[in-house]
């Protein structure tokens, strides 16, 4: 089981883009002192891993981002789709974003974040 620095925010998401759009997460570059949203997913190949989905300057904006997406995750029945190499995340299946993954957990983490062993 993963250690938790912050309380788990179950069923809360990390994206504010419309449910039909894919979120490009390949260019994220958080700096020390910033807050990142991290999604724990269990993919179609039975891999469990963490994926950063957004970067914020303060905890309030990170938390707001999580809250804005709670409905999307709920509507998607805790399923997201990832592109090869986990460069994009979407709530709906679309061309090029094909790997189905179950959302296990979403949270805000303070950078630099060292992921736990999963």
pLDDT at 8: 32
Per-residue pLDDT tens listing for the chain (118 residues): 333 323 233 223 333 344 446 677 878 889 999 999 888 899 888 888 888 888 999 999 999 988 876 678 888 999 988 887 878 888 888 787 778 999 998 889 999 988 765 5
Mark 6-20 as b/e (b = at least 16 C-beta within 10 Å).
eeebeebbbbeeeee
pLDDT at 21: 60
Kindly list the domain boundaries of the chain, sorted by start residue.
30-110
Tell me the backbone φ, ψ of residue 81, rounded to 5 degrees: -120, 135
Residue-wise pLDDT tens digits, 32-61? 999 998 888 998 888 888 888 889 999 999
pLDDT at 117: 58
Residues 6+ apart with CB under 8 A from 35: 55, 56, 57, 58, 59, 61, 62, 108, 109, 110, 111
Quote the tokens at residue 56.
């914020």
pLDDT at 7: 29
């Amino acid at each position: 089981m993963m250690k938790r620095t912050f309380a788990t925010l179950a069923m809360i998401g990390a994206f504010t883009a419309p449910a039909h759009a894919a979120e490009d997460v390949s260019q994220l570059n958080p700096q020390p002192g910033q807050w990142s949203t991290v999604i724990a997913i269990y993919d179609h190949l039975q891999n469990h891993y963490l994926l950063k989905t957004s970067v914020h300057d303060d905890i309030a904006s990170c938390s707001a981002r999580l809250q804005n997406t709670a409905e999307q995750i709920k509507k998607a029945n805790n399923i997201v789709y990832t592109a090869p190499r986990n460069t994009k995340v979407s709530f709906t299946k679309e061309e090029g974003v094909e790997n189905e993954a179950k959302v296990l957990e979403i949270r805000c983490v303070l950078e630099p974040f060292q992921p736990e062993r999963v």
